[in-house]
Structure 1
Amino acid sequence: MKKGLLLLVFASLCGGLFAQKFDLAKTPPMGWNSWNKFGCLVNEEVVMKAAKSMVSSGMREAGYEYIVIDDCWQISRDEEGEIVVDTIQFPHGMKYLADYIHSLGLKFGIYTCAGLTTCQKRPGSRGYEFQDARTYARWGVDYLKVDWCYATPGQNSFASYSLMRDALYAAGRPIVLSICEWGETQPWTWAKEVGHLGRTTGDIRDNWDSMINIVDAEKPLAKYAEPGYWNDPDMLEIGNGGMTTNEYKTHFSMWCMLAAPLMAGNDLSNMSEETMSILTNANLIAVNQDKLGQQAVCIRESGGYEIWIKNLVNNEKAACLLNRSDEEKEVLVNFNRLLRVKGESDPRYQLYEDSYELTDYKILDLWENKEFKITGDYRIMIKIPPHSVKVYRFIKKGK
């Protein structure tokens, strides 16, 4: 019997001996992943450029920290079952890359699959979980994305990802576990004790319909997100060219409201000032990284116009007005009601807090980065271009 299979049998016999995950990801992880832009063309130079650019662009200071290599870095296993790196694409190996990334004050991530092979037919971790976990720990990995391609018939997602969790914990290096089974087995109902983020849908595409459909899929999932476990609507497409500037702003705004992991997927070494300004919007990132850890809820849907509310620490709130239609909308907004709405997971049972007084707050427009002044009865007409958002934060005065 091969070494990897022996380890699998041992793990099964041990049951829950290592059944514990590392206490990580108290706020949604932020970083970069190679797949959306580079796919299987990823290599050592691409990854090192991304890491260097994350520093020079100001993204590291904005909160981004993980540099994650997706599929296509591995080519085989040796006679001992050890995973073999593609030395043509990565001539110095993964430990070298990890050390370089760490030297820049960043963290290193890598990819595997819970199936026999990865989505691109490279060797997966099925049967080698403990061996691979020890290897990743030795290399200095900080983040592991585990895909779900080519799972064997009858393979159980909870058992498979729990096995990898236990393997990582036994290896002894704190590693964020990103579960990526595309929401097929509703990971939000079971993955909280297993990983740190769980994909909720299939892969995103760089277009409006794909992005907004993913937003729709997140609507019933708010109650499952909390510090240490996040619903993952997939990586960001900002800067890859398939959407307009307004659509990319909507994309980023909604991911921040949803308390989603912010994993950039563009070429960091060749991005426009516009792309960089979206990805490093400090106001929106603060909403995403809020320590209360609540996911926004949609409290109103009417003719392509939606209102999303996200509760924040210190009794503050963020409100996102989303125009998903193809035409400009002019809407009457009652800011007093936006502040006072509880933001419950089910919008049919929205309640209002009498203790909130709008006079105790200032309102910040998070894209304009300026205070939004209102007078009178707190109601004002707002124009929202098609496929766009207006995002506001209610900030306690005196902060």
Structure 2
Amino acid sequence: MKKAILNLVVVLFSLSHFAQKFENLAKTPPMGWNSWNKYGCDVDEKLIMKMADEIVNSGMQEVGYEYVVIDDCWQVGRSEDGEIIVDKERFPSGMKKLADYIHSKGLKFGIYSCAGTETCQERPGSRGYEFQDARTYARWEVDFLKHDWCNTSTQNAQASYSIMRDALFAAGRPIVFSICEWGKSEPWEWGKDVGHLWRTTGDIRDSWESMISIVDKEKDLFKFAEPGSWNDPDMLEVGNGGMTTEEYKTHFSLWCMLAAPLMAGNDLSDMTKETKEILMNRDLIAINQDVLGKQGFVYRDNGDYQIWIKQLDNKEKAVCLLNRSDEVKKVQVDFNLLLKANSSIGWRTYIDPYELKDYSVRDLWEHKSVNIGDGTIFLTIPPHAVKVFKFVRN
């Protein structure tokens, strides 16, 4: 009883003393790779090292991908003193050695845990061990923690994630904290003070229907995103085979417009030319990583046709024309109106005092300037496809 009371006192003191998150992290949406979408529980250190090598060798590192994150199934139990136990068969060198290897490549190391008693794959969770686990992650030199929400019973999400936030801060190593609560308790309302990104929906699947349904749930949350605090619509499925090339281009374009974390989830050692071109589109990545940190918003919604706008630094803007339908769509586009659109008023009022003569327009998939004449052009957009443009100041 005395030991339990002492532990409670220590936790309460820690919560009051370290009730804050690390600032100046994730000032732009995190970019990297996560093991889950492609490999699930079939992970080991050779695979993780191989993916780290591929990030470097493929050129992905050069365009901004930096985190290598092991998802669930790396842990198998706890020792008598509560220390988390790594699967020695799959990770014989241990996590510190793996982190050292990843760091030697100029990359950052991420790991997975869960706010409940067990993870989603019934491995030991962090509930009741938050401060101990945080010290372990700091000792391993972890840079990113994805914290899931399985087996949480009646736990309060904000309180549970706040405990892990405080534990990470107490451990002293700056770690990007990814809240994976699936949007159940509206984490966009409280996540800013707790983590650096928060999941807004359930898990993505490698299909058009899953991807576009997540976009629908995400589109009205733009006011909650800012540098260091991001809505997370889940990881990328680009290259996993369940969608067409056009659909993957749309998937990637929308994640960039949403200022979403860009966490690839495919086999990086076996990418097609099309997959590489999508994941390493520098023009789109620049939109995602824009330092203003604004999430895109729906400027016009005609059901199966939407216009998205993302405000950028230097008074620039990105525009995404989305054909959600199963048919080819021909549209008239007035760039004068798009340049002046402002999310704070709505699409029927134009208050930004910009003039089209001061800008050029760049097609971000064709990677070239567009001749728009007096500002109005007609475009043909294939089914489930996008056209993405950027207003670039002259």
TM range (shorter): over 0.9
Where in structure 2 are the equivalents of 1:374-385 lying within 5 Å?
A: 374-376=372-374, 378-385=375-382
Query: Residues 243, 20 of structure 1: CA spacing in aligned structure 2 closer, same or farther, 3 A cutoff?
Result: same
Contact 2:14–2:166, Cα closer than 8 Å, also in 1 = no
Give the equivalent residue in structure 2 for 1:93. 94
Shift of 1:273: 1.6
TM-score, normalised via structure 1 length: 0.96
Q: Distance in 1 between matches of 2:187 and 2:353?
A: 36
Q: Distance in 1 between matches of 2:51 and 2:354?
A: 44
Give the equivalent residue in structure 1 for 2:364. 366
> Which stretches in structure 1 are left out of the alignment for 5+ residues?
none
Q: Distance in 1 between matches of 2:185 and 2:10?
A: 26
Q: Distance in 2 between matches of 1:202 and 1:111?
A: 17
Q: Choose from 391, 396, 399 the match for 2:393.
A: 396
Shift of 1:263: 0.2
Deviation digits for residues 370-394 of structure 1 (CA, Å, limit 9, x no counterpart): 0011113x11111000000000000
Shift of 1:191: 0.7
Shift of 1:9: 5.7
Deviation digits for residues 318-337 of structure 1 (CA, Å, limit 9, x no counterpart): 00000010001000000110
Deviation digits for residues 243-289 of structure 1 (CA, Å, limit 9, x no counterpart): 00000000000000000000000011111121111001000000000
The DSSP-based 3-state class of the residue aligned with 2:380 is: strand
Query: Residues 303, 113 of structure 1: CA spacing in aligned structure 2 closer, same or farther, 3 A cutoff?
Result: closer
Where in structure 2 are the equivalents of 1:1-399 lying within 5 Å?
A: 7=7, 10-12=10-12, 14-23=14-23, 24-152=25-153, 154-344=154-344, 347=346, 350-353=348-351, 355-376=353-374, 378-397=375-394
Contact 1:25–1:228, Cα closer than 8 Å, also in 2 = yes
One-letter amino acid of the structure 2 residue matched with residue 158 of structure 1: Q
Shift of 1:303: 3.8
Q: Distance in 2 between matches of 1:8 and 1:239?
A: 48
Query: Residues 7, 246 of structure 1: CA spacing in aligned structure 2 closer, same or farther, 3 A cutoff?
Result: farther
Shift of 1:169: 0.3
Contact 2:77–2:84, Cα closer than 8 Å, also in 1 = yes
Deviation digits for residues 310-369 of structure 1 (CA, Å, limit 9, x no counterpart): 00001000000000100010000001101111133x74x653135211010000000000
Contact 2:311–2:318, Cα closer than 8 Å, also in 1 = yes
Contact 2:342–2:352, Cα closer than 8 Å, also in 1 = no
Q: Distance in 2 between matches of 1:5 and 1:33?
A: 39
Count of matched residue positions in the alignment of Structure 1 and Structure 2: 393
One-letter amino acid of the structure 1 residue matched with residue 371 of structure 2: K
> Which stretches in structure 2 are left out of the alignment for 5+ residues?
none
Deviation digits for residues 130-165 of structure 1 (CA, Å, limit 9, x no counterpart): 00000000001000000000003x211001100000
Contact 1:134–1:171, Cα closer than 8 Å, also in 2 = yes
Q: Distance in 2 between matches of 1:197 and 1:257?
A: 16
Query: Residues 380, 8 of structure 1: CA spacing in aligned structure 2 closer, same or farther, 3 A cutoff?
Result: farther
Query: Residues 256, 367 of structure 1: CA spacing in aligned structure 2 closer, same or farther, 3 A cutoff?
Result: same
The DSSP-based 3-state class of the residue aligned with 2:50 is: helix
CA RMSD of aligned residues (A): 1.6
Contact 1:162–1:194, Cα closer than 8 Å, also in 2 = yes
Provide the identity percentage. Answer: 66
Contact 1:232–1:261, Cα closer than 8 Å, also in 2 = yes
The DSSP-based 3-state class of the residue aligned with 2:126 is: coil
